[in-house]
Amino acid sequence: MSQQPLIQLTDIGRKYVIGAETIHALKSVTLQIYKGEFVALMGPSGSGKSTLMNILGCLDTPTRGEYILNGISVSDMTDDELADVRNKEIGFVFQTFNLLPRSTSLDNVALPLIYAGIGRKQREEMAQKALESVGLGNRVDHKPNELSGGQRQRVAVARALINNPSIILADEPTGNLDTKTSIEIMGLLEEIHSRGNTIILVTHEEDIAQHAHRIVRMRDGLIEDDYPNKDVKSVSPRLAALREKGTDFENI
């Protein structure tokens, strides 16, 4: 791991004023995440994990505290500045896939590159490679309604990877999938992590969280627990075989 954290949150607070009521969604959160980590963010409804996820993803800003992402302070950025950081630094994978229904897999994956100002030919080449990397090189012309749930989520993962972001932020990525398909998607995330990507997984499912190497638990707007997961559950056959050989994963 690098010495400087990729994410540095210091005394982050977030409150919402609704009528006469003030809701403290986050009270005081201090957290460091380093490059190459695989972190599961957990907590019951109302714990603050969704608010924290929105701040980590630059979809919301804190009421107080400082957020430094990849050496850049993003706490007080404008909406346009936050949008630029999101496009360059963060790849999102959502529970509901968030794919454009009338666009092909290739066009869905290439979409972030339009905002990055990359030409059509290069966009298509990059999107093709991203789809091949998630095992969908033969589905580039298929639209979402022609794909299974697992294939749709793979398209979403390819889209998240397209800009080579600092972080993959996966929000309940298996929430709409059956057990078998959930295992496939977690295996894919394991493979992506093994290539050096930083992954933050937001989930309420204990068995899904067990794929992460570190678990952060939240309650009542605070971090309740933060510990390394010593019994990481792997579902990737390739990674399982490497673990049996005692492979040093830092060098994969």
The whole-model pTM stands at 0.87
User: What is the tens place of the pLDDT at every residue in 102-155?
Assistant: 999 999 999 999 888 889 999 999 999 999 989 899 999 999 999 999 999 999
pLDDT digits 0-9 by tens, 190-235? 989 988 899 999 998 999 999 999 999 999 999 999 999 998 888 7
- Record the tokens describing residue 141, joined without a space: 């012309």
Q: How far is CA 60 from CA 12, 154, 168, in A?
A: 12, 26, 17
Domains of the chain: 37-48+79-251 (3.40.50.300)
- Residues 95, 207, 195: CA angle, nearest 5 degrees: 70
Distance CA 85, CA 68 (A): 12
Instruction: List C-alpha distances in Å: 242 to 54, 123, 194, 198, 246.
Output: 35, 34, 11, 20, 6
In this predicted model, what pLDDT tens digit does every residue of 181-200 receive, in sequence order?
888 899 999 989 988 899 99
